[in-house]
Amino acid sequence: MPDFAAPVSRLIDELKRLPGIGQKTAQRLAFHLMRVDGEEALALAEAIRGARESVHACPVCGNLTDVDPCLYCGGPGRNRKTICVVEEATNILSIEKTRQYGGLYHVLGGALSPLGGIGPEKLNIKSLLERLKSGIVEEVIIATNPTVEGEATAMYLSKLLKPLGVRVTRIATGVPVGSELEYADEVTMLKAMEGRREL
Ligand SMILES: [Zn+2]
């Protein structure tokens, strides 16, 4: 006999697929959703559907957006001479929170990982090269995570971009090594951006 009613088991299985959610948390969330007001539970389902249907990668920078181009690429007040390269769209929020960076972004969609089978062709690199062709961009700030993969990606990009005559910098490791930028607080992130060095 199954432990839970089949639909609840299915819900638990779906929740478990989410990052950071194990069996116990999935069960707690599932039972919570069964307990709350029906509309509240369905609002979550609707939010997932709505976000999935309207949000896509910005054709210019790869950021998640519901308008084309995204609010950074299309923003009138942004400094178009600087592009900050990040692994994931969520990293943009960490940098925006500092309120000091007013340039553009480029989302790679991950980091190089030879062991994980992620080579340069799997990352959003070609479109970055395209963006540099106009000659407007003067500096590319590489803000990949301070992990082995993030550092390897930074080195790879530096070798690729420097011959194009653009200044390539790497954020300082004010962010603890091995950690992810997503969890860096504003002050740490600000220091990392300010302390960036030439690659
Ligand atoms: Zn964009």
* Mean pLDDT of all residues in 12-30: 96
117 CA from centroid of ligand 1 (Å)? 27
8 CA from centroid of ligand 1 (Å)? 39
Residues with CB in 5 Å of ion ligand 1: 58, 60-61, 63, 69-70, 73
Q: Are 29 and 20 in contact (CB under 8 A)?
A: no
- At 121-162, the pLDDT tens digits run 999 999 999 999 989 999 999 999 988 999 999 999 999 999
Residue 89 has pLDDT above 70, yes or no: yes
Residue 1 has pLDDT above 60, yes or no: no
User: Going by DSSP bridges, is the β-strand pair 103-107/139-142 parallel, antiparallel, or unpaired?
Assistant: unpaired
Residue 195 has pLDDT above 90, yes or no: no
Residue 20 has pLDDT above 80, yes or no: yes
10 CA from centroid of ligand 1 (Å)? 36
Q: Dihedral sign, CA of 133, 136, 140, 141?
A: negative
85 CA from centroid of ligand 1 (Å)? 12
Q: Give me the chain's average pLDDT, please.
A: 92
75 CA from centroid of ligand 1 (Å)? 9
22 CA from centroid of ligand 1 (Å)? 34
96 CA from centroid of ligand 1 (Å)? 14
User: Going by DSSP bridges, is the β-strand pair 103-107/79-86 parallel, antiparallel, or unpaired?
Assistant: parallel
**CA distances, 110 to each of 48, 56, 160, 186, 188 (Å):** 23, 16, 17, 22, 22
The pLDDT > 70 percentage for the chain reads: 95
99 CA from centroid of ligand 1 (Å)? 18
Q: What's residue 190's pLDDT?
A: 84
**CA distances, 117 to each of 7, 11, 47, 111 (Å):** 36, 31, 33, 11
185 CA from centroid of ligand 1 (Å)? 24
Selection from 189, 170, 195, 178 nearest residue 92 by Cα = 189
71 CA from centroid of ligand 1 (Å)? 7
- At 114-125, the pLDDT tens digits run 888 999 999 999
143 CA from centroid of ligand 1 (Å)? 16
Q: What is the CA radius of gyration of the chain?
A: 20
Taking the C-alpha atoms of residue 103 and residue 96, their distance in angstroms, rounded to an integer, is 10
- At 46-80, the pLDDT tens digits run 999 999 999 999 999 999 999 999 999 998 999 99
Q: Label residue 178 by pLDDT band (50, 70, 90).
A: low
Taking the C-alpha atoms of residue 140 and residue 81, their distance in angstroms, rounded to an integer, is 9
Could you tell me the pTM of the whole model? 0.81
Beta carbons within 10 angstroms of residue 199's beta carbon: 17
Bond preceding residue 69 cis, omega within 30 of 0: yes
Residue 172 has pLDDT above 90, yes or no: no
**CA distances, 64 to each of 17, 132, 149, 159, 174 (Å):** 21, 21, 22, 27, 26
Q: What's residue 187's pLDDT?
A: 82
Measure the CA angle with vertex 151, ends 147 and 156; round to 5°: 150
Tokens found for residue 85: 């390269």
102 CA from centroid of ligand 1 (Å)? 13
119 CA from centroid of ligand 1 (Å)? 23
